[in-house]
Amino acid sequence: MTQAPVENVDPAAVAALPKAELHLHIEGTLEPELILALAARNGITLPFPTLEALREQYEFTDLQSFLNLYYANMAVLITEADFTDMTGAYLARAKESGVRHAEIMFDPQAHVARGVELSTAVNGIAAALATSEADFGITTGLIAAFLRDESEESALAVLEQLLAMNAPIIGIGLDSAEVGNPPSKFIRLFKRAAQAGLRLVAHAGEEGPPSYIEDALDLLGVERIDHGIRAVEDKYLVKRLVAEQVPLTVCPLSNVRLRTVDTLAAHPLPQMITAGLNVCVNSDDPAYFGGYVGANFAALVAEFEWDSATVELLAANSIRSSFASDERKQQLLGELAAWSAAQD
Ligand code: ADE
Ligand code: ZN
């Protein structure tokens, strides 16, 4: 039987595709221009004081080479207004990418370690999120991500501080240098967060082995895995993730820029979709990796010549895998159905 040729989805339509972004580090949205502007505002001298010199640093060989620059650039975040401006700039760009709901991670320990009060970071970010629906039509949730290359004690102390100050967080995550820092290091942290009623996510299987994904599920009780691309190396794990429909928040441009995959063409996402895994597309650290979630979708559509049904599936997965209310999910799935109908 011959099939009618499938129409590739129009790039403009992909930008308008209603979607949720579930894997986003707010500190990874600091664009070079904003880094320099905040440095000037706060009287900070950066090691790379011009746009040209700064941009030259954006060539990464692995996760650690990126993290070095990512943490160094946070030096410009001093006041609540800095955190508010960074978050507002992300929301404006997310809107252009069709994001209708965003779950945003921040790295509290990275700020405390620099001598910035926890309340400065939390209140600054929260101020922008408080008006995100009115300003940009984006509902949001804030996730405190803990640094897995720091001790569990340090994470527990900061979590207790966040709880004591009633920080408006919906959950906790686990990020930073993965290899050598397995989920088993953070069992008490995740138990405490669960007890406090927080939602649980963790990076796993970005650079680390498939066993870290299994351990994040079994030892930490996470509800979503950030990245998870190395799951494809273990067919039993894939079977389980499909059966349980565990959400995997995949970040294709990040994986290319951090060289976890050689090229976008070699990315396992098409294989993951075919296997029936619950995958969605996210930008991770868009200021560092060549674009926001719309750019990730655009690059994927160009590379894999996807039709509208494929991008619709990815957007539906993102909405269903979010921690938004059932009412908000239904609303966004309705918007997605309307988008789909307009493609015919
Ligand atoms: N922190 C910010 N981006 C990260 C990533 N891609 N992996 C681990 N930790 C991160
Ligand atoms: Zn990440």
Instruction: Find the ligand nearest to 181 CA.
Output: 1
- Which residues does 157 contact at the CB level (< 8 Å), separation at least 6? none
> Is residue 14 situated within a structural domain?
yes
Q: Tell me how crowded residue 41 is: count the other CB atoms within 10 A of its CB.
A: 14
Each of the 344 residues of the chain gets a pLDDT tens digit; together they read: 444 455 788 888 999 999 999 999 999 999 999 999 999 999 999 999 899 999 999 999 999 999 999 999 999 999 999 999 999 999 999 999 999 999 999 999 999 999 999 999 999 999 999 999 999 999 999 999 999 999 999 999 999 999 999 999 999 999 999 999 999 999 999 999 999 999 999 999 999 999 999 999 999 999 999 999 999 999 999 999 999 999 999 999 999 999 999 999 999 999 999 999 999 999 999 999 999 999 999 999 999 999 999 999 999 999 999 999 999 999 999 999 999 999 97
Domain hosting 334: range is: 6-342
178 belongs to a structural domain: yes
Inside any domain, residue 248: yes
Active-site annotation holds for 31: no
| Three-state SS at 282 | coil
Q: How many residues can be counted in the chain?
A: 344
Q: d(Cα 260, Cα 315) in Å, to the nearest integer?
A: 24
User: Edge to edge, what strands does the sheet with 19-21 contain?
Assistant: 19-21, 99-106, 139-147, 171-175, 199-204, 224-227, 247-250, 278-281
- Nearest Cα to Cα of residue 224 among 206, 207, 245, 210: 245
Q: How far apart are CA 335 and CA 327, in angstroms?
A: 13
The residue nearest atom 6 of ligand 1, judged by CA position, is 284
52 CA to centre of ligand 2 in angstroms: 26
Residue 17 counted as domain residue: yes
CATH code where residue 306 lies: 3.20.20.140
Q: How far is the CA of 338 from the centre of ligand 1 (A)?
A: 34
**Locus of tokens 């159905």:** 337
Counting ligand 1 atoms within 8 A of each CB, the residue from 27, 63, 150, 256 with the most, and so the one to mutate, is 63
- CA atoms of 263 and 315, how far apart (whole Å): 23
Tell me if 283 is assigned to some domain. Answer: yes
Tokens matching residue 170: 């919906």
CA 157 to chain centre: 24
Number of domains in the chain: 1
- Give the residue, out of 24, 176, 250, with the most ligand 1 atoms within 8 A of its beta carbon, to mutate for a pocket test: 176
Residues 6+ positions from 321 with CB-CB distance below 8 Å: 20, 22, 224, 247, 249, 278, 280
Ligand 1 pocket mutation, candidates 23, 29, 64, 66, criterion most atoms within 8 A of CB:
66
The angle formed by the CA atoms of residues 32, 33 and 39, to the nearest 5 degrees, is: 90
As a whole number of angstroms, the distance between CA 100 and CA 122 comes to 22
Residue list, ligand 1 pocket, CB within 6 Å? 25, 28, 63, 70, 175-176, 203, 206, 254, 284-285
1 within some domain: no
Closest C-alpha residue for ligand 1 atom 10: 176
Is 263 within the bounds of a domain?
yes
Per the residue annotation, which of 27, 206, 312, 335 is the catalytic one? 206
Alpha-carbon distances of 182 from 53, 202, 215, 258, rounded to whole Å: 35, 11, 8, 20
End-to-end CA distance of the chain: give it in Å, rounded.
23
